[in-house]
Amino acid sequence: MTVLSVRDLEVTYATQAGPIPAVRGVSFDIDKGEVLGLAGESGCGKSTIVNAILRLLPPGATTTGQVLLNGEDVLTMKAGRLRAVRWTGASVVFQGAMHALNPVQRIGDQLAEAIVLHRLSAQREALVRAGDLLEKVGLPPRRARDYPHELSGGQKQRVMIAMALACTPTLIIADEPTTALDVMVQAQVLTLLNELQHEMGLAMLFITHDLSVLVEVCDRLAIMYAGKIVEEGPSAPVFAKPAHPYTEALAAAFPSIGDLRFRRSPSGLGGDPPQPDSIPSGCSFHPRCPVAFDECPTVVPDLYEAGDGRRAACLLVRDQARVAT
């Protein structure tokens, strides 16, 4: 069953310097119980997608396409329905969650607030549920009486996860949920998210720049560059045998310890990710691509079949597919 279906999503920001395309035609589906990882560097449009899904973009942004959440288009919803869908249909675990909690309100009250606002239960039951939620994320229910400053970074991130679960959504969007955490705590939080997702059969959209984290927790991966998906497919082959040269460069930035290919030979791409206001022509990756050829600056690649259930937006993949058929 498809929980989220994003179709031809385009987001353009209006600025004084003219319209800036941040997302340029992105489509993907997430089924119940599936985790899709969306990876890409700063400015590739991944956070814009998060905000577009729940219509959290600033007024200057124009969104076209469809965002179907359990079959309903979020983009055309009435305001009242939208308010109901946020939290109960889809909820977000934001990055830097430690600053998202209200410092002068007890943890339990903050959890209960979301439940009461959505009229799921009265204050008293909501507080009991807050305790249950804390237990679910591995914190003793008595911590509901704590203020945020009494918790460590990892504990606050656990509270944020509990909050995302408060109204039993069908989709959880995790936007860089472990970025500010220490390695050991990151592993603990990832394990928790993974367990909850399995146990509750949640659909999850996991967003980060750290490809190695995505490979661990995701069933499928989508790699973004300059507002488009350039490669997508099951996570293991996408990471291990990338079909797109950009994915290959990104994967090489997360070396496997013990692999002698990486030893004393850091590999990276020349240049920088493009700014959304100056996206190169043709394949937008061509100025940085180590294997670009004469067609790349002019032809815009589609997503072509690349084997192992993968698709990649690279003319070389197109040519290989032609040779094969």
Partner 1 sequence: MSGAALGRASASGDDDPVLEVHDLHVSYEGRVGLGAGVAGKKAAVARAVAGVDLTLRRGEVLALAGESGCGKTTLARTIMGLEQPNQGEIRFEGEPLSKSTRILREYRRRVQIVFQDPTAALNPRQTIYESVAEGLRIHGITDQDGLSEEKLVARALARSGLRPPERFYLVYPHELSGGQRQRVVIAGALVLEPEIIVADEPVSSLDASVRGEILKLLLGLRDDFGIAMLVVTHDLGLAWTIADRVAVMYLGRIVEIGPAEDVLTKPLHPYTKALLEVVPEAGGLTRPILSGEAPDPTRIPEGCRFHPRCPEVVSGAAGRAGVEARCRGEDLGLIELRPGHFAACHLAAARRGDVVPSTT
- How many residues interact with partner 1 (rule CB under 8 A)? 49
Q: How many CB atoms lie within 10 A of CB 139?
A: 19
| Residue 112 found at the interface with partner 1 (CB under 8 A) | no
Q: Which of 3, 69, 250, 317 binds partner 1 (CB under 8 A)?
A: 250
- In this structure, the number of other CB atoms found within 10 A of the CB of residue 115 comes to 23
Window of 62-70, 116-124, 176-184, 316-324 that interacts with partner 1 by CB under 8 A: 176-184
What one-letter code names the amino acid at 11? V
Smallest distance, Å, CB 84 to partner 1? 33
Residue 291 binds to partner 1 (criterion: CB under 8 A): no
Here the tokens at position 166 are: 């408060």
- Cβ-count burial of 112 within 10 angstroms (0-12 exposed, 13-18 middle, 19+ buried)? buried
Contact call for residue 161 and partner 1 (CB under 8 A): no
Among 272, 302, 308, 319, binds partner 1 (CB under 8 A): 272
Among 255, 280, 287, 307, binds partner 1 (CB under 8 A): 255
**Residues 173/50, Cβ–Cβ less than 8 Å:** yes
Minimum CB–partner distance for residue 202 and partner 1 (Å): 16
CB 89 within 8 A of CB 70: yes
**Binding of residue 253 to partner 1 (CB under 8 A):** yes
Binding span for partner 1 by CB under 8 A among 96-104, 118-126, 162-170, 268-276: 268-276
> Given the structure tokens 């293991």, which residue do they identify?
236
Closest CA to 323 of 309, 310, 307, 308: 307
Q: Which CA distances in Å does 76 have to 32, 79, 235?
A: 23, 9, 32
Binding mask 44-73 for partner 1 (x = CB under 8 A): ------------------------------
Whole-Å CA distances, 15 to 12, 21, 58: 9, 11, 12
Residues lying near partner 1 in the complex (CB under 8 A) are found at 41-42, 152-154, 182-188, 190-191, 194, 209-213, 215-217, 235-236, 239-240, 246, 249-250, 252-258, 262-270, 272-273, 288
